[in-house]
Amino acid sequence: MRKFAVKRCIFLVVIVISTQTLIAGLKETLPTYHWAYQHMEELRLRGFFSEHNFAKRPFTRGEVASALVDHLIAGWATDDIPKAVWLLDELYEEFAGEMNLIRKDESSDIFSIGLLTQVNVGNNSESFRINGGFQVGKNFGVYNTMNFDSDLAKDPTYVGRKWRGMSAFTEQGYMQYESSRFSLLFGRDFKRWGIGKRGTLLISDYSRPMDQLSAELRIGSVELSFIAAELDRVEGKRRFLSVHRAGISIGNSLNIGISELLIYGGVNASPIAAFTNPALVFHGENLNDLSQSNTLGAIDLLWYPKRYWRLSGAILIDDIQLDNKELDDLEPNEIGLILGVQRANPFGFDGVDSWVEYVRITNRTYTTPNVEETLKHRNRPIGYFLGNDFDSWEFGASSWVKEGVKISLNLTLRRDGEGGIDVPFSTPWKDVKFEDGYSEPFPTGVVQELTEFRFSAEKSFSSKFRVTFDYEHVAIDNFGHSKDKSESDDKFFLILWYDFKYSLNL
């Protein structure tokens, strides 16, 4: 007998107030959750921002401002896509201070301080982000963001102290040097490597920002990137992560990235020199030195074959079996895959975007028998936010129906197996005879099937003020991996965003 839960409606009001300097700083990174990325991605489909690689974030505010200045000078043709002007105008407003600084070619020292407040009336929660920093000359900046959040204190994955229903942590805190060819960052900041509408396979922005030393070297159309980070301890064991990436841009239409990640640790572990050398192949060093670690590789591709079209794909390899000689060779392959197609202005409808994306990650991906090697940071996946043992289809469309007014529709169909990134690593193939072989279904066990529909309406009055209404309906079969148990839910959100800025040049 099927059991249906009573639908519940949640009404949320979120007020966002931000106070910071007009010129936040050319070297300040633009947080990966900022609305400007969505604007830039939509404009990229229409032929703008072709010099940016959207498979590797964050950008700095100076990078975005420089592109806007360059294209203002060169002139962007928008006659046949008038609605693109709305997005450009909002970006011009958001980055006006940085654009003016670039035009004047000045090296002013800039001090910034800000406050971002979120109040959720529906569940009586609030958060406060206090940010500050300064830029010295043209190439160096120091920035910090503190996050005080009562909602995070209710999150079962949260790691940290709670006081009077509040949690607090430093979300960002870093020093960054950047020139035209080289950049170096030391501290805590967001990273997002790869492609995907909701998440990426290797390095996503779902986990807390990592404490890291990262560097980038740009040589023509080639970009070399490296991160060495220390993660949180697990069962008293120190953990370290190293990842490097080689990206190449072919013309203005194709971006290819090849990445390799290694995670290792132990009770008395310390950084290993070979694993902090970006010029080495980590997997080879691991095999030759017989080190205890987990290596993963990934390839991602963004292709804009013609205006208004984007094809994307990524594959992650955690473990694949190339031999068939012994019992351990029966272990199922652990891989991830993302494939996507996005189309702008279909059938000549200006301001419309549509997309389809498929995500598939097999059981045990991101995990090993050693818990310190699981690809998580502070209880959250470093890779795709759903972990493993699932696949998902997402269909979406959005339209700017008038200046500053956008509506979006999304349909997600997902299957979740009984495995997962938090499930202990199992080895059932060791319980069979080699000659009998071993296979398992995908997804594994009783499969939970989710259907999610989302409607969103957004009104942008300016870069400083926007209002968004969201409605979500979720229906789940085999809820909690219990056969024939069903649940459904409806949620409503109302979000108000206000952003006030003030500038101070030293």
Q: How far from the centroid of its chain's Cα atoms is residue 149's Cα? A: 20
Whether 64 is in a domain gets the answer yes
In the three-class reduction of DSSP (H, G, I as helix; E, B as strand; rest coil), residue 66 is classed as helix
Q: Where are the alpha helices (DSSP H) in 223-315?
A: 282-289
Q: How many residues does the chain have?
A: 506
Whether 46 has a pLDDT exceeding 70, the answer reads: yes
Residue 271: is the preceding peptide bond cis (ω within 30°)? Answer: no
Predicted pLDDT of residue 210: 97
Q: Domain of residue 481: give its range.
A: 11-501
Average pLDDT over residues 190-214: 96
Average pLDDT over residues 457-477: 92
Whether 128 is in a domain gets the answer yes
Most confident of 21-25, 107-111, 329-333: 329-333
Closest CA to 383 of 396, 367, 398: 367
Average pLDDT over residues 272-284: 94
- High-pLDDT (> 90) share of the chain, %: 68
Residue 58: is the preceding peptide bond cis (ω within 30°)? Answer: yes
Whether 276 is in a domain gets the answer yes
pLDDT digits (tens, 9 = 90+) for 437-452: 999 999 999 999 999 9
Q: What's the number of domains the chain is made of?
A: 1
- High-pLDDT (> 70) share of the chain, %: 89
> Side-chain half-sphere of 355: how many Cα atoms within 13 Å?
26
Predicted pLDDT of residue 5: 38
Whether 113 is in a domain gets the answer yes
- Looking at per-residue confidence, does 122 or 238 come out higher? 238
Whether 206 is in a domain gets the answer yes
CATH number at residue 476: 2.40.160.130
CA 264, CA 199: separation in Å to the nearest integer?
Answer: 24
- Looking at per-residue confidence, does 115 or 287 come out higher? 287
Whether 27 has a pLDDT exceeding 50, the answer reads: yes
Whether 441 is in a domain gets the answer yes
DSSP string, 151-183: TGGG-TT--S-EETTEEEEEEEEEEEEE-SSEE
- pTM metric for this prediction: 0.92
pLDDT digits (tens, 9 = 90+) for 211-255: 999 999 999 999 999 999 999 999 999 999 999 999 999 998 999
- Residue 49 pLDDT class (50, 70, 90 cuts): very high
Positive/negative CA dihedral, 51, 52, 56, 59: positive
Whether 239 is in a domain gets the answer yes
pLDDT digits (tens, 9 = 90+) for 385-433: 999 999 999 999 999 999 999 999 999 999 999 999 999 999 999 999 9
Whether 6 is in a domain gets the answer no
